[in-house]
Amino acid sequence: MDFSLRVNRKQIATNSSPYRDQQFQHISSLRERFLRQGLPIISVDSKKRELIGNFKNPGTKWDRSSVPVNDHDFRSDASGVGISYGIYDPPNNRGTVCVGTSHDTPAFAAHSIATWWKREGSRRHGRASKLLVLADSGGSNGCNSWAWKTEIQAQLCNPFRITATIAHYPTGGFQMESHRASSVLRDLQTLGRRASGQL
Looking at residue 100, the DSSP 8-state letter turns out to be: E
The pLDDT of residue 112: 92
84-109: per-residue pLDDT in tens?
888 999 988 998 888 887 777 888 88
Rounded to two decimals, the pTM is 0.73
pLDDT exceeds 90 at position 71: no
The pLDDT of residue 3: 80
Confirm or reject CATH 3.30.420.10 for domain 38-50+79-187, answering yes or no. Answer: yes
Give phi and psi for 95, each to the nearest 5. -130, 150
115-171: per-residue pLDDT in tens?
999 999 999 988 899 999 998 877 777 777 788 899 999 999 999 999 999 998 887
* Residues near 156 by beta carbon (within 8 Å), at least 6 away in sequence: 110, 113, 114, 117, 131, 162, 164
13-43: per-residue pLDDT in tens?
666 667 778 888 999 999 999 999 999 999 9
Domain spans, the chain: 38-50+79-187
Distance CA 43, CA 180 (A): 10
Contact call for residues 123 and 129 (beta carbons, < 8 A): no
